[in-house]
Structure 1
């Protein structure tokens, strides 16, 4: 059964071209041109990944992303014509897994989709649950658990935490962490990895508010420590 991609894009010509490229890569695609229809389409279609435009009629991409992320860890790729760095980071702060700036090549988007779905597929392969001094991370569910409390992570957030978690005490710089998340050698600012770290820390704080697992090393990077 082919994986399902939901495309939410109000530029009809662009959306249809993108859908054609995705279908040629053997994905099942549903296209929605209006933000007001995105949530119902998501619930009915149950996609494996969502390509979500930031600027949409009736309901914008930010609102849609927030709504879906409260209910699901389905991978979300934000697309936007806004190139300011704050707008690039906005989708990541909301819990999106990636972003693509317009104008973009449909082939580039398909490559991003394939890379993210490969990561998700790898993480869903049955593996032994990893635990470290009370903190447990589960690659099959993308949950982090401390004692009886648990929190869900996006694919990117989990991959970042897993990288640090598996080598406690080792310091990783931002480039090393970015390379472990994105496979396409893109050039992004240091603020992107900082945005991801901030999100992971915030989520871990909901299950262990008195503890700090990820430590900043000024001028160098980040490390995970036992607690």
Structure 2
């Protein structure tokens, strides 16, 4: 049995030659794959089956890829890699806002696609031999099961959102620039818009705030630099509020 044969990836593209090319390389790497030629078919397949990843073209007939991402995120946290045209920076930002985890620009190198697929799957597969808990007031993170509890309630996070809060929580009070977060959280050379970090931070805060305003304030913006995870600063603010 091939090493990756238990991993199934959904390829969504209206160009048959692109689907064939991606399927060929996925097969060479040992992955199973299925195909959808349009957004409606992709959503239907996602409703019927759990996939390990989706390779999604943004330019699709009937329902475009951005709408597909939004619909998928209503039901699944499956990792999504967008496939976009070179100049579509606005679409990439919209895709991240909708819940995509990464993007690839056409024309792409199939080998690059495989490296990005492997990198994301490596982080989403459970690899830890033991349960390790990272705990702060009102926040518990379980790396093995990739579970986050805020205010005692589970959060629904995309793989990239989980990687981001885990990395920040593992490095409390350390200030990270956007470039540093792209390098450390995305784990490979990322030639993307730095707003990618801002988008993920914004979405993560919004999700945390629905469960615990206290925890959402732990992710602190360091103006002119980047971000830090600061439970100490949050505790100080909370104590002052109580005293006042």
- Report the TM-score when normalising by structure 2: 0.86
Alignment match of 1:224 (pick from 229, 232, 239): 229
Q: How many residues align?
A: 227
Q: 1:86 aligns with which of 78, 87, 90?
A: 90
Unaligned stretches of 5+ residues in structure 2? 235-244
SS across alignment from 2:213: coil
Q: Which runs of 4+ in 1 moved over 4 A?
A: 122-126
For 2:58 and 2:49, the matched residues in 1 are separated by 20
1:1-227 alignment to 2 at 5 Å?
1-81=5-85, 83-122=87-126, 126-209=130-213, 211-226=216-231, 227=234
Show CA shifts across 1:94-139 (max 9, x none). Answer: 1111111111111111111111001111567643221112211222
Q: Note the aligned Cα RMSD (angstroms).
A: 1.8
Instruction: Indicate the larger mover: 191-200 or 21-30.
Output: 191-200
Distance 1:203 1:24, change over 3 A: same
Residues 1:71 and 1:45: Cα distance change in structure 2 (over 3 Å): closer
The 3-state SS of whatever aligns with 1:80 is: strand
Q: Following TM superposition, by how much is the alpha carbon of 1:221 offset from its aligned partner in structure 2, in angstroms?
A: 1.2
> What's the secondary structure of 1:156's corresponding residue?
helix
Tell me the alpha carbon deviations over residues 161-186 of structure 1, each in whole angstroms, 9 at most, x when there is no partner.
11111122111111211111223212
Q: Is there any run of 5+ residues in structure 1 with no aligned partner, and where?
A: none
Q: TM-score, normalised on structure 1?
A: 0.92
For the 8 Å contact 1:146–1:207, the answer to whether it is kept is yes
Q: Distance in 2 between matches of 1:123 and 1:58?
A: 39
Contact 2:9 2:52 in 1 (8 A): yes
Cα displacement (A) at 1:222: 0.6
Q: Which moved more, 1:208-217 or 1:163-172?
A: 208-217
CA offsets 1:61-96 (integer angstroms, 9 cap, x no match): 122111111211111111112523222211111111
**Highest CA radius of gyration, 1 or 2?**
2
